[in-house]
């Protein structure tokens, strides 16, 4: 394969284990694309990666304004990493507003690359700067690279038949080119992407190519960067990899589950941030028999999914917190009629509309208890973007085997964050599924499997099994409508027991670290990376700390209590105000301690590390 990226001089190269970059600019500056391109390039090179896109809810907030800043942080490393980094080593700020809203995260001595052309009076005023920070000395604790990116980029594109506004839209690729040079990354993956994306628009393609190459050449030929950096590839477990976000992995996992269970997937959905990408992606898998339905509202989305499951398909719906709130009544119906259904909740900051693009883990109690009546259903929660694939299959395994709706809790951080995913062999995927019931003699709509308590799945079209189901209480065995008090009590216990028994069919809670000790940090969902990294640091300091991470929240793994009681203290960090904490304390009467953070951002490693140290040193 030919390469367009020039060979390097081997002088002035510094090797680093890990680098964290944050691209920040106006929401129209293409920062998400820039970050994604760097991520792909680092991933293909073989680094371990972790990303944190952070963008405003407004599609285009006023240009240059503080609320309009869009950021993308990525960490890439030659060793295994679990988080997108607490703080950036390098901040790329495309305008004063991006500088203002991000500079506090850059540690002293950190590298700051700015587009000095954007630091004009108007933009400075919009960002609330009284004087120009590039010249007033306020940035002297950083290593500042002030580059006239807009002007240099415009010069590189000179002669192309484009308006100056169009030219300016490509300056993010100039910045990307600089970063590629600075970190010894090939331009080839991005050049290929430009060809694929803009192949039909030769001028646009040429402009982006020129911008990227000009940025790269600028890094190489100017003398402002005295050195560049090398982050060798990571020693990831052997295998074939691709970069994947949590939403992509969830969609792929559901398609895989459909293939494994040999039933068509039906996806009912209403657009909502940050779950919509699942709809976009699944709608392209029609040749897998995937039927996607953009419903009139959240209720119709889950109603249609229940209807599809009733017909023998795999009914799936997804939303975020406000949409889940609308689906809760139908989720209760699915509990009552005991049909397989998976409900994905990509959590975001609430209550109400909250902060649509910001992450939070605050729907746990909603999905556990947000229905009328005692209405138990299983809850699973993947811990990393790549795990979103495995737990989609796991959610379906449980739904089909136990004839129950299952909630799958993701969040905005998992959904849009990415990491390398070792692509599994299809042959290694678990075997899941259930047969339709067809035997007339043995058929009773609410007879149960003695082990799983699952009722038979008798789908319309099966001769002789005509029967009626619905939201009214069912008589045990026959499924006829029943208001008998004893029957209702029995059915409530049966529904509870059915979910409880799943504990016998899921892995035990694993502990990373000593089996007993001073402190256990218990987490669930997307806090995994920060907790794991904090625990590794504490262990390196010789501290008696272990990490356990719940992927099954209802039911809990059967050894959960034993694990929790093996440590003097239990700390539960959550991006909410103590929801798992409440469940753990209520269930086990263990005096666990919460660490809450609801700032629309994931935990930093240092925050957990410090809290753990405080607990360990507390006498």
Partner 1 sequence: MAEALTLPVVPPLSRKDFVSDQEVRWCPGCGDYSILAQTQKVMPDFGFPKENIVFISGIGCSGRLPYYMNTYGFHSIHGRAPTLATGLKAARPDLMVWVITGDGDALSIGGNHVLHSMRRNVDIKLIMFNNRIYGLTKGQASPTSEMGKRTKSSPAGTIDQPVMPLSIALAAEATFVARSVDTHTEHLQATFESAGRHHGSAFVEVLQNCNIFNDGAWRAFTEREVRDDRMLFLAHGEPMIFGKDRDKGIRLRGLHPEVVTIGEDGVTVDDLLVHDEHAEDPYLAFMLSRLSYPEFPVPVGVFRSVDHPTHDKLMQAQIDEARAKSGEGDLEALLNDGETWVAS
Q: Measured between alpha carbons, how far is residue 343 from residues 70, 234, 310, 317 in Å?
A: 30, 36, 15, 5
Q: Please, which residue, 244 or 502, has the CB nearer to partner 1?
A: 244
| Residue of 151, 460, 477, 565 that binds partner 1 (CB under 8 A) | 460
Contacts of 536 (CB under 8 A, 6+ apart): none
Using CB under 8 A as the binding rule, whether residue 475 contacts partner 1 is answered as: no
Q: What angle do CA 45, 47, 53 make, to 5 degrees?
A: 105
The secondary structure element, H or E, covering residue 100 is helix 96-102
Using CB under 8 A as the binding rule, whether residue 468 contacts partner 1 is answered as: yes
Helices 171-182 and 149-156: crossing angle in degrees, nearest 10, is 100
Q: Please, which residue, 244 or 582, has the CB nearer to partner 1?
A: 244
175-214 footprint of partner 1 as x/- string (CB under 8 A): --------------x-------------------------
Using CB under 8 A as the binding rule, whether residue 148 contacts partner 1 is answered as: no
Q: Please, which residue, 432 or 521, has the CB nearer to partner 1?
A: 432
Extended strands (E) in 297-401: 314-319, 341-347, 379-380
Distance CA 253, CA 393 (A): 6
Q: Please, which residue, 468 or 489, has the CB nearer to partner 1?
A: 468
Using CB under 8 A as the binding rule, whether residue 335 contacts partner 1 is answered as: no
Q: Please, which residue, 48 or 363, has the CB nearer to partner 1?
A: 48
Using CB under 8 A as the binding rule, whether residue 299 contacts partner 1 is answered as: yes
| Residue of 18, 230, 467, 501 that binds partner 1 (CB under 8 A) | 467
Using CB under 8 A as the binding rule, whether residue 464 contacts partner 1 is answered as: yes
Q: Please, which residue, 288 or 369, has the CB nearer to partner 1?
A: 288
| Residue of 315, 525, 529, 555 that binds partner 1 (CB under 8 A) | 315
Q: Which stretch binds partner 1 (CB under 8 A): 140-148, 252-260, 526-534, 550-558?
A: 252-260
Q: Please, which residue, 25 or 385, has the CB nearer to partner 1?
A: 385
Please give the structure tokens belonging to residue 1: 């394969």
3-state secondary structure of 19: strand
Q: Please, which residue, 322 or 514, has the CB nearer to partner 1?
A: 322
State which of positions 393-452 bind partner 1 (CB under 8 A). 422-424, 426
Query: Smallest distance, Å, CB 488 to partner 1?
Result: 17
Using CB under 8 A as the binding rule, whether residue 462 contacts partner 1 is answered as: yes
Residue of 296, 366, 361 whose CA lies nearest to 331 = 366
Q: Measured between alpha carbons, how far is residue 480 from residues 19, 445, 471 in Å?
A: 63, 9, 11
Distance CA 39, CA 42 (A): 5
Q: Please, which residue, 333 or 608, has the CB nearer to partner 1?
A: 333
Query: Smallest distance, Å, CB 539 to partner 1?
Result: 25
Q: Pseudo-torsion of CA 207, 52, 318, 425, nearest 10°?
A: 90
Instruction: Report which DSSP code applies to 555.
Output: S
Using CB under 8 A as the binding rule, whether residue 4 contacts partner 1 is answered as: no
Using CB under 8 A as the binding rule, whether residue 288 contacts partner 1 is answered as: yes
3-state secondary structure of 77: strand
Query: Smallest distance, Å, CB 342 to partner 1?
Result: 14
Q: Which strand ranges, in their side-by-side order, compose the sheet holding 265-269?
A: 291-294, 265-269, 314-319, 341-347, 405-411, 379-380, 552-554
Helices 387-402 and 246-261: crossing angle in degrees, nearest 10, is 40
Q: What angle do CA 298, 300, 302 make, to 5 degrees?
A: 75
Q: Please, which residue, 136 or 297, has the CB nearer to partner 1?
A: 297
| Residue of 53, 64, 312, 405 that binds partner 1 (CB under 8 A) | 312
Using CB under 8 A as the binding rule, whether residue 507 contacts partner 1 is answered as: no
- Beta-strand pair 69-77/90-93: unpaired
Please give the structure tokens belonging to residue 227: 């050195």
Query: Smallest distance, Å, CB 557 to partner 1?
Result: 28
Using CB under 8 A as the binding rule, whether residue 250 contacts partner 1 is answered as: no
| Residue of 31, 118, 252, 254 that binds partner 1 (CB under 8 A) | 252
| Residue of 264, 449, 473, 596 that binds partner 1 (CB under 8 A) | 264
**Number of residues binding to partner 1, judged by CB under 8 A:** 74
Q: Which stretch binds partner 1 (CB under 8 A): 26-34, 129-137, 291-299, 409-417?
A: 291-299
Query: Smallest distance, Å, CB 240 to partner 1?
Result: 5
Residue of 533, 509, 524 whose CA lies nearest to 50 = 533
Q: Please, which residue, 259 or 585, has the CB nearer to partner 1?
A: 259
**C-alpha neighbours within 13 Å on the C-beta side of residue 552:** 25
Helices 31-45 and 171-182: crossing angle in degrees, nearest 10, is 30
Q: Please, which residue, 129 or 241, has the CB nearer to partner 1?
A: 241
Q: Which stretch binds partner 1 (CB under 8 A): 14-22, 44-52, 586-594, 608-616?
A: 44-52
Residue of 362, 334, 335, 365 whose CA lies nearest to 347 = 362
State which of positions 227-246 bind partner 1 (CB under 8 A). 233-243
Query: Smallest distance, Å, CB 217 to partner 1?
Result: 25
Q: Which stretch binds partner 1 (CB under 8 A): 81-89, 282-290, 355-363, 589-597?
A: 282-290
Helices 298-310 and 321-337: crossing angle in degrees, nearest 10, is 30
| Residue of 144, 162, 295, 325 that binds partner 1 (CB under 8 A) | 295
| Residue of 61, 152, 279, 333 that binds partner 1 (CB under 8 A) | 333
Q: Please, which residue, 286 or 565, has the CB nearer to partner 1?
A: 286
| Residue of 139, 355, 365, 465 that binds partner 1 (CB under 8 A) | 465
Query: Smallest distance, Å, CB 311 to partner 1?
Result: 4
Query: Smallest distance, Å, CB 316 to partner 1?
Result: 11
111-114: list long-range contacts, CB under 8 Å, 24+ apart: 111/142, 111/143, 111/145, 112/139, 112/142, 112/143, 112/144, 112/145, 113/145, 113/147, 113/175, 113/178, 113/179, 114/144, 114/145, 114/146, 114/147
Distance CA 226, CA 12 (A): 7
Using CB under 8 A as the binding rule, whether residue 342 contacts partner 1 is answered as: no
Helices 31-45 and 188-198: crossing angle in degrees, nearest 10, is 130
Q: Which stretch binds partner 1 (CB under 8 A): 85-93, 173-181, 311-319, 406-414?
A: 311-319
Q: Please, which residue, 129 or 267, has the CB nearer to partner 1?
A: 267
Using CB under 8 A as the binding rule, whether residue 259 contacts partner 1 is answered as: yes
Distance CA 615, CA 164 (A): 58
């Amino acid at each position: 394969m030919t390469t367009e990226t020039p060979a390097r001089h081997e002088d002035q190269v510094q090797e680093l284990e890990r680098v964290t970059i944050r691209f920040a600019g106006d929401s129209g500056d293409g920062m998400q694309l820039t970050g994604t391109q760097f991520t792909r390039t680092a991933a293909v090179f073989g680094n371990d990666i972790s990303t944190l896109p952070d963008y405003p809810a407004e599609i285009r907030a006023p240009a240059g304004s503080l609320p309009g800043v869009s950021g993308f942080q990525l960490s890439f490393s030659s060793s295994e990493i679990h988080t997108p980094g607490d703080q950036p080593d390098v901040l790329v700020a495309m305008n004063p507003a991006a500088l203002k809203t991000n500079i506090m995260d850059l540690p002293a001595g950190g590298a700051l690359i700015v587009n000095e052309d954007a630091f004009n009076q108007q933009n400075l005023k919009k960002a609330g700067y009284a004087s120009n920070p590039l010249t007033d000395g306020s940035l002297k604790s950083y290593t500042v690279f002030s580059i006239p990116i807009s002007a240099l980029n415009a010069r590189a594109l000179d002669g192309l038949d484009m308006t100056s506004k169009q030219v300016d839209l490509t300056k993010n690729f100039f910045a990307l080119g600089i970063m590629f040079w600075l970190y010894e990354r090939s331009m080839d993956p991005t050049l290929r992407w430009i060809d694929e994306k803009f192949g039909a628009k030769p001028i646009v393609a040429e402009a982006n190519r020129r911008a990227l190459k000009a940025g790269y050449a600028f890094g190489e030929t100017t003398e402002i960067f005295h050195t560049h950096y090398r982050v060798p590839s990571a020693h990831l477990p052997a295998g074939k990899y691709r970069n994947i976000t949590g939403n992509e992995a969830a969609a792929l996992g559901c398609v895989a589950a459909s293939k494994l269970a040999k039933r068509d997937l039906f996806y009912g959905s209403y657009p909502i941030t940050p779950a919509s990408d699942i709809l976009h992606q699944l709608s392209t898998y029609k040749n897998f028999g995937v039927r996607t339905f953009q419903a009139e509202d959240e209720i119709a989305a889950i109603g249609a999914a229940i209807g599809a499951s009733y017909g023998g398909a795999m009914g799936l719906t997804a939303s975020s917190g406000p949409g889940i709130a609308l689906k809760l009544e139908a989720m209760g119906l699915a509990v009552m009629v005991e049909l397989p259904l998976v409900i994905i909740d990509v959590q975001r900051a609430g209550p109400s509309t909250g902060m649509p693009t910001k992450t939070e883990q605050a729907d746990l109690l909603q999905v556990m208890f947000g229905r009328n009546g005692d209405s138990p259903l299983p809850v699973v929660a993947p811990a990393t973007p790549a795990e979103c694939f495995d737990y989609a299959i796991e959610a379906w395994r449980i739904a089909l085997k136990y004839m129950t709706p299952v909630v799958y809790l993701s969040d905005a951080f998992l959904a849009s964050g990415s990491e390398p995913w070792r692509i599994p062999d299809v042959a290694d995927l678990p075997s899941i599924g259930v047969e339709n019931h067809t035997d007339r003699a043995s058929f009773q709509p609410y007879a149960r499997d003695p082990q799983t308590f699952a009722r038979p799945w008798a789908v319309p079209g099966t001769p002789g099994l005509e029967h009626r189901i619905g939201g009214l209480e069912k008589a045990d065995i026959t499924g006829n409508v029943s208001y008998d008090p004893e029957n209702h009590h029995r059915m409530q216990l049966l529904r509870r027991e059915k979910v409880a028994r799943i504990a016998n069919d899921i892995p035990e809670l694993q502990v990373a670290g000593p089996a007993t000790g001073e402190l256990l940090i218990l987490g669930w969902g997307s806090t995994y990376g920060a907790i794991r990294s904090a625990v590794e640091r504490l262990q390196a300091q010789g501290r008696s700390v272990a990490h356990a991470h719940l992927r099954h929240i209802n039911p809990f793994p059967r050894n959960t209590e034993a694990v929790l009681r093996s440590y003097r203290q239990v700390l539960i960090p959550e991006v909410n105000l103590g929801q798992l904490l409440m469940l753990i304390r209520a269930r086990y009467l263990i005096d666990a301690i919460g660490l809450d953070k609801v700032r629309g951002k994931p935990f930093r490693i240092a925050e957990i590390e410090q809290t753990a140290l405080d607990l360990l040193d507390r006498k």
